[in-house]
Structure 1
Amino acid sequence: MAVVLTEFSGGVAVICINRPEVKNAVNLEVSEALADAVDEFENRRDLTIGILTGSGGTFCAGMDLKAFARGELPTIPGRGFGGITERPPKKPLIAAVEGWALAGGFELALAADLIVASSDAKFGIPEVKRGLVAAAGGLLRLPKILPYPLAMEMAITGDPLTAHDAFKYGLVNRVTEPGQALAGAKELAARVASNGPLAVRATKQVLSMATNYTDASAFVSQRALTDPVFASADAQEGSRAFAERRPPVWVGA
C-alpha cells in the first residue's frame, strides 16, 4: 500500500498520508512521497489548490520516533520535514485535520495556508516531552498566528489545543462535524479553484511574503539552537522512552 495517496480533479489536488497503523507518523519514505506529490501538484496547470490530509481518522502524529531512534531523519534538504515545511508549495494548500495533528504533523498543518478541522481535532507541539524541539516550523509560525503567551504555553508545556480554541484564536478557518474535515476542505477548495489559477498562485505568494510566513532564513537561523538538541542524549532517550512506553529519564545533555 502506498504511504501517500493522491487524487486530482476539478482543479484540486488531494494528498493523503497513508500510514494509519502508526497514526500517519512520517518517516523518510513518507517525506519523499509527499515531496513527489507536491511537485506533481505544483507542475500541473489544471490544479489550482491542494488539500493535505491523513487516513484512518488521524491527520498526522508527527515524526516516526521509532525510525528516528534508529537514526533516520524524515527531512529532505532544502524542503524540510515531510518535504513541505521549509518549502511549502507556491499554490495554496489546505490542511484537512481529523483527530490529532501533533508535533511534525501540526507543523505540516502550519505549513498549509488554510486549516479545516473536525470538532474533535487537537493540535500540539509536544516535542519537549520527548527531549526534542519543534524545529520544522512550529516555533517559527505559531507565534505569528496565535497570541505570543498562548504560543509559548503550547511550546514549553507540550499541551494541545482543541479545534474550537484553535478556531477562536484564528488558527483554524472552519470547524466541521467529526469525519467531515476533508469534505469541508473540498468545499472550500472548490471556491478557490473557480478563480483564475495564475491570480490565485500570485496572491498566495505575495500574501505569504508580506507576513514572512515562509521565511527560509529563519530555518537557517534556528539550527544553531535546535541541531544540538536533536544530537543530544536526551533526544535519543525521549525517543526510546516513547518506543518502550515508559517515562524518560533526562540527563540534560
Structure 2
Amino acid sequence: MKPIVDEGEPTVTVTVRDRILVITINRPAVRNAVNGDVARRIADAVQELDSDDELRVGVLTGAGGTFCSGMDLKALLAGDLPWVEGKGFGGLTQLPPRKPLIAAVEGWAVAGGFELMLACDLVVASEAAAFGVPEVKLATVAGGGAAMRLPQRIPTAIALEMLLTGDTISARRAAELGLVNRLTGEGEALSVALELASTIAANGPLAVTATKQIARAAAEWSRADEWSEQDRLARPIYESRDAREGATAFAEKRAPVWFGR
C-alpha cells in the first residue's frame, strides 16, 4: 500500500505568470526528491500546460535552491513509486508536453532530477548548479531516460563518461557541452528562465508547438519521408489565422494578436 502523503503543503506548486506555467517541486527538506505524489502532480501540471490554450510555455524548477536530487529512495522502499503510467519517471520523462518546457536549475540536478531536466527543451542554470547521473555508483541504471537521451544531446564519449563514472559536472561544463542554454548568477535561474519563456510566448503559439514537434521528431523520420512528415505538421500552420495575422502585423508594423487558430 502506498503511504499517505501529508507534508503540510503541496509537494508541487503550480502558478501562472503571463501565459507561462511555473511548476515547482516543493520538497526542499529532501532536496526535492521525487515520490509518487510529486510525479502525479507534475503529470497533472504538464497536462494542464498542453490543454489550456492560454498557456504558451512551461518552466520546471525546484524550491529551496535545489532543482531535484532524483528519486526518493525512502518512499520507493515503502512502495511509493515515482512513475506515472505512460508518462514515465516524475510524470514527465516518457511523455513531455507538446508545448515548450524550460528547466530552471539551481543547485543539484542529479539522477532522476537530471533526467527531468533532459525531458525539458531548454535549460537555464545557475553557475552554482551541478549535474550528474550517479546511478552506477549504486549499482543501478539511469532508467528515466538519461542512458538513452544523453548521448543524443552531447558527444557519445562524453555522455558515456558521465553515465559510466557517475561523476558530476559543473554548470559551466554543461554549458560548454550544450546541455545548458543560459548560465546565470546564483539564485537567478528562474528569473532568466521566465525571460526566455516570455520571448517564446510572444511568438505564434501554433507555430511554436509545431516547430517543437518537428525538431523533436525529425531524427526518427527516414530520408524518404522527412519532407512529407514536416509538411504534415507545418501546412496547417501556414493555413491558420495566426499566419495571416503575423504577415499582416509585420506589414502594418505593429505587434501581432494571436488567435491560436
What's the TM-score, normalizing by structure 2?
0.80
Q: Of the two structures, which has the highest relative contact order with CA contacts closer than 8 Å and spacing of 6 or more?
A: 1
SS at match of 2:179: coil
Matches within 5 A, 1:120-159: 120-159=128-167
| 1:109-120 equivalences in 2 (<5 Å) | 109-120=117-128
Deviation at 1:75, TM superposition (A): 0.5
1:9 maps to: 17
Q: Secondary structure at the match of 2:167?
A: coil
1:37 aligns to 2:45 (yes or no) = yes
Find the residue that maps to 2:216 and give its secondary structure. helix
Task: Write the distance in 1 (CA, Å) between the matches of 2:42 and 2:207.
Answer: 25
Once residues 76 and 13 of structure 2 are traced to their aligned partners in structure 1, the CA distance between those partners, rounded to angstroms, is: 23
Equivalent pairs: percent with the same residue? 55
Deviation at 1:134, TM superposition (A): 0.5
Deviations 1:7-50 (A, max 9, x none): 11212110000000000000001000111111111111111110
Q: Which letter maps to 1:45? A: D
Q: Cα deviation per residue 1:82-129 (whole Å; 9 max; x = unaligned)?
A: 110000000000000000001000000000000000001011110111
Letter in 2 for 1:147: P
Q: 1:93 aligns with which of 101, 107, 110?
A: 101
Please say if 1:28 is aligned against 2:36: yes
Structure number with bigger Rg: 2
User: In angstroms, what is the RMSD of aligned CA positions?
Assistant: 0.8
Output aligned runs, 1:233-252, within 5 Å: none
Written as runs of structure 1 = structure 2, the 5 A alignment for 1:145-184 is 145-184=153-192
1:251 aligned partner: none
Instruction: Measure the CA separation in 2 of the matches of 1:124 and 1:69.
Output: 23
Q: How far apart are residue 71 of structure 1 and its match?
A: 3.0
CA distance in 1, matches of 2:172, 2:72: 27
Segments of 5+ residues of structure 2 without an aligned counterpart are 1-8, 221-261
Deviation string 1:182-239 (CA, Å, 9 cap, x unpaired) is: 0110010010000011111111111100135xxxxxxxxxxxxxxxxxxxxxxxxxxx
Q: Which residue of 2 aligns with 1:200?
A: 208
For the residue of structure 2 that corresponds to 1:211, the secondary structure is helix
Distance 1:68 1:157 in 2: 24
- Which amino acid in structure 2 is aligned with residue 128 of structure 1? V
Paired with 1:154 and 1:69, the residues of 2 have a C-alpha distance of: 26
Indicate the residue corresponding to 2:193 in structure 1: 185
Whole-angstrom distance in 1 between the partners of 2:185 and 2:89: 29
For residues 106 and 202 of structure 2, the distance between their equivalents in structure 1, rounded to whole angstroms, comes to 26
- Does 2:57 match 1:80? no
| Residue 106 (structure 1) aligned with residue 114 (structure 2) | yes
Query: Normalising by structure 1, what TM-score?
Result: 0.82
> Is the partner of 2:187 in helix, strand or coil?
coil
What amino acid sits opposite 1:63 in the alignment?
Answer: M
Equivalent position SS for 2:79: coil
Report the secondary structure of 2:193's partner residue.
Answer: helix
Q: Which amino acid aligns with 1:75?
A: W
- Residues 64-90 of structure 1 show CA distances to partners (whole Å, capped at 9, x for unaligned) of 011122233210111000110000000
* Matched position secondary structure for 1:109: helix
Matched residue of 2:164: which SS? Answer: helix
- Which of structure 1's runs of 4+ aligned residues deviate more than 4 A? none
User: Counterpart amino acid of 1:123?
Assistant: F
Question: Structure 1, unaligned stretches of length 5 or more?
Answer: 213-253
